[in-house]
Amino acid sequence: MQTLAQMRAMLEERGLSPRKRLGQNFLIDHNMIRKLVDASGVGAGDRVMEVGPGTGTLTEELLDRGCEVTACELDRGLAQLLRERLGGRAGFTLIEGDCLRGKHEINPDLLGALKGEPFTLVANLPYGAATPLMTSLLADVPGCQGLYVTIQREVADRLMAKPGTRDYGPVGILASLTAEVELIAKLPPPCFWPSPEVHSAMVALRRLASPLSPRAREIIDFAQGLFEKRRKQIGSVLGRDFPWPEGVSPEARAESLSPRAWIALYGAWRAGR
């Protein structure tokens, strides 16, 4: 597994350096890298998506375990480095470009390289891409069996948030509708190079065999509109003549509603359109 000295040398030889604009904080704690892969359970023959592979430290660990890795790297210099170092390895496919096409859609080239087969996301995600990528995979790509990711601690808190808490919102609702969420580890800044200004966390999102609702994307889009007016009672937003489902009070606020209450509320709204 790459040491920090080796990583620095590889970049310096090519005139490269971590780019803050792209959220390039490379995970250098080898124990944490192994911990993430162990939690994912991936192994020989499993198809894995990796976003933001950087210099390929996690990529190599996945390949060494026999995984079929489809990696997506936006940085042109790092993409060239990965081709030089890993291009000849069996099971490695590189997509150069953004993992997203727009805010709510995965890059079709990335999905195409996965050939419609089930896969698992295992990645140290660039902070800027983390929330839209995970949202799209959970809501729109059922072939993604699980997400095992290193992300900003604040995002992890939102994924695990419970109703009535400050961090609860559409992302947490989506996670509850589609997956089981587990905290794998908390990571302080020195686990990365360069050290970020924020703390990070590793999180597992294991896809439910059956989602709580087949309309998860529609529900969180609906919820987003109400969370934008979270200080208001939902009755003042939807109207007092709204056909309120059993157990949902018009005096409630968005952050107090459970995922199942959101299912019921969206169902009533959709039926009355």
pLDDT digits (tens, 9 = 90+) for 172-203: 999 999 999 999 999 999 999 999 999 999 99
Q: Which domains does the chain have, with CATH numbers?
A: 4-207 (3.40.50.150), 216-271 (no CATH)
**pLDDT surpasses 80 at 16:** yes
- Cβ–Cβ under 8 Å, residues 27 and 45: no
> In Å, what is the CA distance from 176 to each residue of 47, 96, 119?
25, 32, 20
pLDDT reported for residue 102: 81
**pLDDT surpasses 90 at 272:** no
> In Å, what is the CA distance from 73 to each residue of 23, 186, 218, 241?
12, 25, 30, 50
Instruction: Report the C-alpha gap between 221 and 58 in whole angstroms.
Output: 33
Residue 242 C-beta-side C-alpha neighbours within 13 Å = 22
pLDDT digits (tens, 9 = 90+) for 53-97: 999 999 999 999 999 999 999 999 999 999 999 999 999 999 999
- pTM score of the predicted model: 0.95
pLDDT reported for residue 122: 98
Pick the range with the lowest mean pLDDT from 9-13, 16-20, 78-82, 94-98.
Answer: 16-20
- Cβ–Cβ under 8 Å, residues 254 and 227: yes
Instruction: Report the C-alpha gap between 234 and 170 in whole angstroms.
Output: 15
pLDDT reported for residue 257: 97
